[in-house]
Amino acid sequence: MNVELTLFQFQSLLEVASELGAKRALIKAGKLKPYLKKSEALRMYGRNNVEHWIEEGLITPRKDGNDSAAWRIDRIELDIIAKGLEVLRFL
């Protein structure tokens, strides 16, 4: 299967891939938190988006305890979904 991309589409894909790679490197180096609190994710990506992604099973919130423990969401999962949707708009 061959997929033809314009130069702009190819550049957009490379930009997204390099940005995600850099973010992953920062996480592994301990310079960036690997998880966001659910409230942080809602603020950064929008409540409707995050809730929709959770309902669709695209991201998985995790809870580290019972009762008052905060929900956390993997930063890379969020970025992959957000950037993937952004890229789809260009294709």
Q: What is the pLDDT of residues 4-41, one digit of tens each?
A: 888 988 888 899 999 999 999 999 999 999 999 999 99
CA distance 24 to 18: 10
- The CA dihedral of 20, 22, 24, 26, to the nearest 10 degrees, is -150
Is residue 34 a part of any domain in this protein? yes
Read off the pTM.
Answer: 0.80
Is residue 74 a part of any domain in this protein? yes
Is residue 1 a part of any domain in this protein? no
Range of the domain at 42: 7-90
CA distance 26 to 32: 6
Give the pLDDT of residue 66. Answer: 76
- Residue 82 pLDDT class (50, 70, 90 cuts): very high
Q: Per the structure, how many domains does the chain have?
A: 1
Q: What is the pLDDT of residues 39-49, one digit of tens each?
A: 999 999 999 99
Give the pLDDT of residue 91. Answer: 67
Is residue 2 a part of any domain in this protein? no
Residue 65, pLDDT > 80, answer: no
Give the pLDDT of residue 19. Answer: 94
